[in-house]
Amino acid sequence: MKEPLIFGYLESWANPGITFTQAARNGYNAIVMAFGTINGSQVSIYDNQFVPSGNQIAQDIAGAKAAGARQIICSFGGGNNTYLPDNAAVDELAANIILFLKQYGFTGIDFDLEINTSDSYLDNLCAAIRSQAPDIIITGAPQINQATPETNLYLVTTAHYQDYQLAINNKRFDYLLVQAYNNPSPELKMLGESNVEFISTSFRNLKLSVPDETLIVIGEPAAKISAGFSIFTESDPSADIYQKIAAQYEAIKSDPQFGGAMIWNINQDAANNDLFIKSVKSLI
């Protein structure tokens, strides 16, 4: 059953090194590992590094579940693009993804695609994963754009490429972890990604293009260092910015399509005294 969750991306290369179990104890109940790698039909962990490493990962994921994590998800893509299927046979790649996820105890897959890619291939891959393993949850992490200011928002991989939309229309995703940062262009009701009110405003507008069955999660960075353009872009953001973020989630949490909160990333939140998770964990 889909439910609102607190999603946090956990970087495999970052300091401080946070384990899945530590993240769960901090209050994240949906932890997304950044990143796994898809290269042709082969699936692995990015650079084969993580904290903890090697065969300890499965034990750590089990510990996180025992500490309250409901979903442990492996993400593919990101800024360095670890999603390189190269038109591999969809059923074979889906089977290898599922084998990889279950080997470590992951409960889902996230597509954080930030390149122009084939919308039909993504749609077919999601369909194959769903067919072979109905228990695996599927999330996407699109960015936001629009044709011109004050028009409806749409979800993109990069620039104006709406490569997620076919899979969205076909209801392939359980959750959309929307990156409401790094793009100064979108403007709705005179609000943009540097305005905290954009959390609720973008959520309500995106409902127009996302099926009711798919839960929408508006994501924010942990701190100014976490994104190039965001609600933290101002040199001296409001001292109560985290309380304002929480209030925005509170304003939309009763909506049936509300999927929770998302942060990039857990490591930088930990370095910032866990201010994000402390502000939202009582709400969700």
Q: What is the pLDDT of residues 112-122, one digit of tens each?
A: 999 999 999 99
Task: Decide: 175 and 139 in contact? Cβ < 8 Å.
Answer: yes
Q: What is the pLDDT of residues 141-151, one digit of tens each?
A: 999 999 999 99
Residue holding tokens 């262009």? 185
Q: Is 112 left (phi over 0), alpha (psi -120 to 50) or beta?
A: beta
Q: What is the pLDDT of residue 1?
A: 74
Reported as a pLDDT band with limits 50, 70 and 90, residue 237 is: confident
Considering the entire predicted model, what is its pTM?
0.97
Domains of the chain: residue spans and CATH: 5-280 (3.20.20.80)
As a whole-number percent, the residues of the chain with pLDDT over 90 amount to 90
Q: What is the pLDDT of residue 16?
A: 75
Q: Given a cut of 90, is residue 157 above it in pLDDT? A: yes
Task: Decide: 178 and 216 in contact? Cβ < 8 Å.
Answer: yes
Q: What is the pLDDT of residues 168-225, one digit of tens each?
A: 999 999 999 999 999 999 999 999 999 999 999 999 999 999 999 999 999 999 999 9
Q: What is the pLDDT of residue 54?
A: 62
Per-residue pLDDT averaged across 252-258, rounded? 99
For the chain, the average pLDDT equals 95
Task: Decide: 104 and 58 in contact? Cβ < 8 Å.
Answer: yes
Q: Given a cut of 70, is residue 226 above it in pLDDT? A: yes
Q: What is the pLDDT of residue 26?
A: 97
Q: What is the pLDDT of residues 44-92, one digit of tens each?
A: 987 655 655 567 889 999 999 999 999 999 999 999 999 999 999 999 9
Q: What is the pLDDT of residue 7?
A: 99
Q: What is the pLDDT of residue 184?
A: 97
Per-residue pLDDT averaged across 131-137, rounded? 99
Q: What is the pLDDT of residue 49?
A: 57
Task: Pull the structure tokens for residue 207.
Answer: 């409902």
Q: What is the pLDDT of residue 235?
A: 65
Cα–Cα nearest to 228, from 172, 184, 189: 184
Q: What is the pLDDT of residue 152?
A: 99
Cβ partners under 8 Å of residue 162, min gap 6:
119, 154, 155, 156
Euclidean distance between the first and final Cα of the chain, in Å? 15
Cis peptide, bond prior to residue 258, ω within 30 of zero: no
Q: Given a cut of 80, is residue 134 above it in pLDDT? A: yes
Q: What is the pLDDT of residue 51?
A: 54
Q: Given a cut of 60, is residue 139 above it in pLDDT? A: yes
